[in-house]
A and B are shown apart, each in its own frame.
Chain A
Amino acid sequence: MHDFTPGHGILGGVLIGLGLAVVLLGSGRIVGLSGITAGLINPHAGGDRTWRASFLLGALAVGAIFELASPTTYDAVAPRPLWLLAIAGVLVGVGTRMANGCTSGHGLCGVARLSKRSLIATITFFAVGVATATLVGRLA
């Protein structure tokens, strides 16, 4: 199998889960990265800015430490052309707001409590994601 890193995958997944669990257990909030981001850019979202900004700051600060300590953590070159990334970005932004969640909020938080909405959303974006990437992979 190509580039398969099971140990890092499991450790990383546990840490991602812990990040969401800490906020859920500590302050009773369901963490979704699309929801956090949308809440920060929407001037009408109300007074929950502090925790959202804190979460993002924590994530980006640790991300920066990884960039300094181990630059190969990140792709140096994007795997797709810029015009395609621009289209994809709009679709991800619109889609996650319509569905009210993404891989973290629906995929990890919602599915874990067997939310019907989250299960259906997660099955849908995984199926469509695989179909899209496979199709593009064949064309490329």
Chain B
Amino acid sequence: MNPLALLGGALFGAGVCISGMVRPSKVLGFLDFAGPWDATLLLVMASGLAVTVIAWRMVAGLRTPRFGREFPAPPSPLVDARLVVGAAVFGVGWGLSGYCPGPALVALVAGVPATFVFVAAMLAGMFAVERREQSTRSDA
């Protein structure tokens, strides 16, 4: 068990629950511009980004992570078709369902069968891509 990752996950879990992002109906309330619109997701992204921007600033002032060996390498500048097509395919799935990977996994605890269907299909999709290329890459 990694206590730091456990804490990080706990904070993440609390965040997606409190913000309502574990509810696909709320996420669709943002993504569906034709329906009654709910801007909450925008505030979740903005406040989350405020924290991660500060975190990267702190990284710049540190030589090594407190419990790790090194910080991530600078981001790759490579923008290829695979990135854009992948993001678009994800966007279609997100827009159809209102689920992105983290909140979907957390929502499993509510025991709603539909969430299990979504997550099982998501894992199958991930596994298919992972199998096709056994190479692992650096960014998230």
Interface residues of chain A, those whose CB is within 8 Å of chain B, are 1-6, 8-35, 37-39, 41-42, 44-46, 50-52, 54-64, 66-67, 71, 73-80, 82, 84-118, 120-122, 124-138
The answer, among A19, A28, A110, for a CB contact under 8 Å with B70, is A28
CA–CA, A44 and B136, complex, Å: 9
18 contacting pairs across A/B (C-beta < 8 A): A13-B15, A23-B5, A24-B71, A37-B123, A41-B130, A63-B16, A75-B112, A76-B110, A79-B28, A85-B99, A88-B94, A94-B128, A98-B83, A100-B140, A118-B139, A129-B31, A133-B33, A134-B34
| Residues A94 and B5 in contact, CB atoms below 8 Å apart | no
Known: A88-B96, A95-B90. A8 touches B40 (CB 8 A): yes
CB contacts (< 8 Å) of A98 on chain B: these are 82-83, 85-86, 89-90, 129
In the complex, A103→B41 CA distance in Å?
11
The majority secondary structure among interface residues of chain A is helix
* 5 other A-B residue contacts (CB within 8 Å) besides A8-B40, A45-B130, A118-B139: A2-B29, A13-B47, A92-B94, A92-B125, A99-B84
Decide: B75 and A118 in contact? CB cutoff 8 A: yes
Question: Within the complex, which residue of B11, B25, B89, B130 is in contact with A95, where a contact is CB–CB below 8 Å?
Answer: B89
Which residues of chain A are within 8 angstroms of B137 by Cβ–Cβ distance?
Answer: 100
Chain A residue nearest to B136 in the complex (CB): A45
B87 touches A95 (CB 8 A): yes
